[in-house]
Amino acid sequence: MTGDGGGVIGIDAVGVVSTDLARSVTFYRLLGVEFPEGDELGPHVEGTLPGGTRLMLDSEELIRSIDDGWEPGGPGRVTLAVRCASAHVVDALYARLETEGYGHRSPWDAPWGQRYASAHDPDGTAIDLYAWLPGAAPG
């Protein structure tokens, strides 16, 4: 997409507000996001995803200090999808998340050609895990 100034506009970062930043950092590290060590102690942390998009986590306290009218929107308003290399990886990653208390819907073969599972981060944000099944990947 191109903005009025002729520059390219694209999503550079996804922000998630957290009630417990350290716990959220631990959860997203399970998904492979690399955050600098010790940053979970502050009110804001960023990790870079494959492809360069940043995942930003902010504490509720930080957001309220910036916007005194802010209220949490509740779970289900945003879903993040994690593409996995294979159905086996979906199963293994879901098993690890479930062991940590984040499981929501066990892996299944979806009719649209993907191995799929759903988890919730510590604040209830939906995290979908998926991998294309053999012969089903888009061409």
Residue found by looking up tokens 């984040």 in the block: 102
Residue 107: name the closest of 121, 118, 122, 99 by CA. 118
CA distance 76 to 126: 6
CA distance 18 to 68: 16
pLDDT digits (tens, 9 = 90+) for 31-77: 989 898 888 888 889 998 888 888 989 888 888 887 777 777 766 56
- The model carries a pTM of 0.74
pLDDT at 139 over 80: no
Burial (Cβ within 10 Å: 0-12, 13-18, ≥19) of residue 139: exposed
Collapsing DSSP states into helix, strand and coil, what is residue 22? helix
Q: Could you tell me how many helices (H) and strands (E) the chain has, helices first?
A: 3, 7
Domains of the chain with bracketed CATH: 1-69 (3.10.180.10), 76-139 (3.10.180.10)
CA distance 113 to 55: 27
pLDDT digits (tens, 9 = 90+) for 79-138: 788 889 899 999 999 999 999 999 999 999 987 889 999 999 998 888 889 998 998 866
pLDDT, residue 74, reads 65
CA distance 41 to 65: 17
- Count Cβ atoms below 10 Å from residue 22 Cβ, excluding itself: 15
